[in-house]
Chains A and B, each alone.
Chain A
């Protein structure tokens, strides 16, 4: 997986509970040890990144270790901030009674379903679009598969709408208002930003998606579907991490029985994910908690000594 360290954006995804957060944190750690400035972003509402590093995170980035920064995105917070921002602009635009009514209308619109998902998407897209200015690598620890795929496919649907809206707005404007219309300008600004995001997202040189799977039947199916969906969306699957593989040195009758079962699943994984780079991470003797225990995972992910990447 070492070759993935040269990308600028890595998403970690997979079924719930397969160890996405751990793998994302370990890779971020490995990259930061090799001297790159890394931002680790958690979009999972479960927010277990705080647990692993044993420190609290919030919506603004915080230094975890030298050149490793962490951030946890809270969708509800993001939505609130955005609505507040729009409200402030509306207030500046209108006076008195009209302002009160405009704000009320805004309130109704802001209560629509899907607002938080959209706010989360907006923050992710901004982090991806702007990350190159401040970080060498941004690692996203995403929510379970379905949710994340929806998130990454959002721009396609959104773009179609925004294009229709901008086109329809332009068509209704008289010539002398083409250059000054704030609505057309706002819509076109969004289109430009979404375009930039999608360009980075679908570039193999910039973005990679790492799928994490464990050798069990259900996660394999779900992950294979995710790989197909990502391909449809034009997003490169950079690697498949097979997490919690029984270590070679483990022994005993019980372990041997499990290993026979596991071998079947591992063969299935080899077959289903043949086109991708695959990495096995052995099951750890203890829970992954703290930087020291992450190092073992990081070494398994990128191979060899961490300091000499």
Chain B
């Protein structure tokens, strides 16, 4: 019973390793580029959301209000990524 369990685990581990190997072979080279693009897309989105706070009028600002709480964590990551240690403008309390 115990032996059969160990055998199944070994197969599962092997399966996972093979999958990871194939994934790495296929995407590894592009991972850096893909991540960079993802970051750029995120930055664009955050910028569109928070333009109003930087003094650029945003006609959709009212409806973004309900989105801000959902973006709270991402906002923090974003301003850190922009190289701003503390929350920008001082008016946005997140750190």
Contacts and interface: CB of A to CB of B under 8 A. Distances in A.
A110 B42 CA distance: 24
B38 interface: yes
A105 B79 CA distance: 14
Interface residues of A, number: 40
Contact of A122 (B62, B68, B70, B92): B62
A168 B60 contact: no
Interface band, chain B: 20 to 34
Nearest to B49: A165
A93 B67 contact: no
Interface string A141-157: 00000000000001001
A89 to B, nearest CB: 7
A105 B42 contact: no
Contact of B65 (A109, A121, A158): A109
Contacts of A89: 66, 69
B60 A172 contact: no
A164 B48 contact: yes
30 contacts: A86-B68, A90-B69, A94-B72, A105-B92, A105-B94, A106-B65, A106-B68, A108-B53, A109-B65, A109-B68, A112-B52, A112-B53, A114-B57, A118-B61, A118-B63, A119-B62, A121-B62, A122-B62, A158-B59, A158-B60, A161-B48, A165-B45, A169-B45, A172-B38, A182-B70, A183-B70, A183-B71, A186-B66, A186-B67, A190-B60
Interface of A: 82-83, 86, 89-90, 93-94, 98, 101-102, 104-106, 108-110, 112, 114-115, 118-119, 121-122, 154, 157-158, 160-162, 164-165, 168-169, 171-172, 182-183, 186-187, 190
